[in-house]
């Protein structure tokens, strides 16, 4: 191994490496760019796949740039940091195009590119931090490394907001001081697994959610020490998960993801397009709020909403599109599985004076109930599922509602393409796909696609009755 080969990779992998397929084998190259001549050091030979590291090129791609981070190859969290902003946009367009073409949607156009208003650095307002051990057995806090997912310290992360990086450093220091060892589910030894750090771009406040295998008193000392060192830390909570496996949260027998308060507030607030959202310790909220604001605005702009519209927001998180659409429509309802997020969404509806209802449950289970409420009225639906896309049966459930329009917001072009093809088969035309740079320096991209029903039957007009909500 460690032989040098010369190749021109042809495509991106899902994880953001460049790849060359030949004779049934794939060479996956860290740091290369499709179309650029590359000298590659081979570091691993697998059954069907070999792995290599980009060593140099005689003709750099116009998209290549100097990498602004000295931990690029160790951490691996930003595989496209060697691409300029233009290179990243072009590569995202290529990947989305390829996925649409693969499912026979070559006629669907790509639309606008929405760049990250905060740039390609310091835009992240959510980071996940792992707890582990070094080879020498010392306690480590940091990111999951590129090569073997072991924890690597990242004292200066380029893409996280500086106050989140400061919180991560404080956490790392005090976790080591207090000897809060990594929790091992196999032996039920140790304490901590990971932490989620979120910052509000609106207020600057930070919410820390620790994931622990058990409670120990020094978790309180940890919270006090970190919040003293970083005064922006407004809340510190702990969720217990002693299950083996990689899932961060473990819902209890009632399906609720519970958390124990350690210090300070339960929620921080983020304002997007005039709505103040509250975000709790286990809620999903967008990583890059500046891009989320562009996305929320665009969803409302591209949909045809009137006071007669019934608006259904599936996978709504803490209120997402339902709260944005409420002033424009006759009836708005959101569906979300995380019960805490639903409480936050209801509260935000009250506080922002927006007439929207929220239902806790699985989208698949709640769709028939929504169908009954609509009683034949044709809604406008938004879907914003997790990376896997729409679960089995959900597309059929949505088609039963006969939506006039659907807005599909996706962070996974492969799942998006699969689901769009199914909607096209169910009688929908697909408008252009807009792209949003929610996750700069990575192969991940957020997209917005609008689908229109071919069936012109208007259905009954009036939206369902709704509760009157007055601003608190």
Ligand X SMILES: C[S@@+](CC[C@H](N)C(=O)[O-])C[C@H]1O[C@@H](n2cnc3c(N)ncnc32)[C@H](O)[C@@H]1O
337 is a site residue for ligand X (CB under 6 A): yes
Contact 334, 359 (CB under 8 A): yes
Cβ(357)–Cβ(334) below 8 Å: yes
Cβ distance to ligand X smaller for residue 230 or 345: 345
Cα–Cα distance, 197 to 226 (Å, whole number): 12
| 411 in catalytic set | yes
386 binding ligand X? (CB under 6 A):
yes
- How many Cβ atoms sit within 10 Å of the Cβ of residue 391? 13
Q: Which of 436, 468, 441 is nearest to 96 (CA)?
A: 436
CB of 433 to ligand X, least distance (A): 17
Minimum Å distance from CB 382 to ligand X? 8
Among 194, 384, 447, 453, binds ligand X (CB under 6 A): 384
Give the range of 40-48, 92-100, 126-134, 282-290 binding ligand X by CB under 6 A. 282-290
Stretch that binds ligand X, among 69-77, 103-111, 152-160, 310-318 (CB under 6 A): 310-318
User: How far is 53 from 218, CA to CA, in rounded Å?
Assistant: 43
Q: Following DSSP, what letter does each residue of 442-465 receive, concatenated?
A: SS--EEEEEEEES-------SPPP
CB of 78 to ligand X, least distance (A): 21
Query: Given candidates 258, 284, 373, 418, which one binds ligand X under the rule CB under 6 A?
Result: 284
The structure tokens listed for 144 are 């999951």
**Residue placing its CB nearer to ligand X in the complex, 336 or 357:** 336
Sites for ligand X among residues 104-163 (CB under 6 A): none
> What character string, x for contact with ligand X (CB under 6 A) and - otherwise, covers 351-370?
-----------xx-------
C-alpha R_g of the chain: 23
φ, ψ for residue 132 (rounded to 5)? -155, -160
The interface region with ligand X, picked from 43-51, 107-115, 121-129, 385-393 by CB under 6 A, is 385-393
CB of 23 to ligand X, least distance (A): 39
Q: How far is residue 11 CA from its own chain's centroid?
A: 23
Name the nearest CA neighbour of 113 among 470, 455, 448: 448
Helix (H, G, I), strand (E, B) or coil at 270: strand
The correct pick among 40, 78, 332, 341 for binding ligand X (CB under 6 A) is 341
96-104, 181-189, 241-249, 384-392 -> range binding ligand X (CB under 6 A): 384-392
Q: Which residue in the shown chain puts its C-beta closest to ligand X? A: 317
Q: Which residues contact 210 (CB under 8 A, 6 or more apart)?
A: 192, 194, 195, 219, 222, 236, 237, 238, 239, 262
Q: To the nearest whole angstrom, how small is the minimum distance from the Cβ of residue 88 to ligand X?
A: 21
Name the residues annotated as catalytic.
411
Site residues, ligand X (CB under 6 A): 284-286, 315-317, 320, 335-338, 341, 362-363, 384-386, 391
């Amino acid at each position: 191994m460690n032989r040098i080969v010369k190749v021109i990779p042809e495509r991106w992998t899902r994880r953001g490496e460049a790849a060359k397929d030949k004779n049934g084998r794939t060479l996956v190259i860290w740091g290369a760019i499709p179309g650029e001549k590359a000298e590659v050091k081979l570091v691993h030979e697998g059954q069907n796949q070999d792995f290599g590291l980009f060593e140099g090129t005689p003709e750099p791609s116009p998209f290549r740039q100097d990498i602004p981070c000295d931990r690029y190859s160790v951490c691996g969290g930003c595989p496209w940091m060697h691409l300029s902003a233009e290179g990243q946009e072009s590569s995202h367009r290529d990947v989305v195009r390829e996925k649409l073409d693969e499912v026979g949607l070559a006629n669907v156009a790509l639309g606008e590119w929405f760049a990250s208003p905060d740039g390609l650095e310091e835009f992240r307002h959510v980071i996940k931090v792992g707890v582990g051990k070094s080879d020498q057995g010392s306690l480590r806090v940091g990111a999951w490394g590129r090569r073997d997912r072991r924890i690597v310290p990242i004292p200066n992360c380029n893409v996280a907001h500086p106050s989140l990086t400061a919180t991560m450093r404080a956490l790392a220091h005090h976790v080591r001081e207090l000897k809060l060892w990594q929790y091992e589910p196999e032996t039920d030894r140790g304490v901590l697994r990971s932490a989620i750090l979120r910052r509000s771009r609106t207020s600057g406040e930070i919410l820390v959610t620790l994931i622990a295998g058990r409670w120990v008193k020094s978790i309180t000392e940890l919270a006090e020490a970190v919040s003293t060192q970083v005064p922006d830390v407004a809340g510190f909570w702990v969720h217990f998960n002693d299950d083996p496996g990689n899932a961060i949260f473990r819902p209890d027998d009632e399906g609720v993801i519970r958390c124990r308060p350690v210090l300070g507030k339960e929620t921080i607030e983020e304002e997007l397009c005039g709505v103040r959202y509250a975000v709790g310790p286990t809620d999903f909220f967008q990583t890059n709020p500046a891009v989320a604001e562009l996305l929320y605005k665009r969803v409302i702009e591209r949909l045809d909403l009137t006071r007669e519209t019934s608006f259904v927001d599936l996978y709504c998180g803490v209120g997402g599109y339902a709260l944005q659409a409420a002033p424009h429509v006759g009836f708005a309802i959101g569906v979300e599985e995380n019960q805490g997020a639903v409480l936050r969404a209801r509260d935000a509806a009250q506080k922002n004076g927006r007439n929207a209802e929220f239902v806790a449950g699985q989208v698949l289970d709640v769709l028939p109930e929504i169908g009954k409420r609509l009683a034949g009225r044709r809604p406008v639906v938004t879907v914003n599922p997790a990376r896997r896309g729409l679960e089995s049966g959900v597309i059929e459930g949505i088609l039963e509602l006969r939506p006039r329009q659907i807005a599909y917001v996706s962070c996974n072009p492969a799942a998006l393409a699969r689901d769009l093809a199914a909607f096209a088969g169910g009688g929908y035309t697909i408008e252009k796909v807009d792209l949003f740079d929610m996750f700069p320096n990575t192969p991940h991209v957020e997209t917005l696609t609008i689908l229109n029903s071919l069936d012109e039957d208007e259905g009954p007009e009036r939206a369902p009755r709704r509760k009157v909500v007055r601003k608190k």
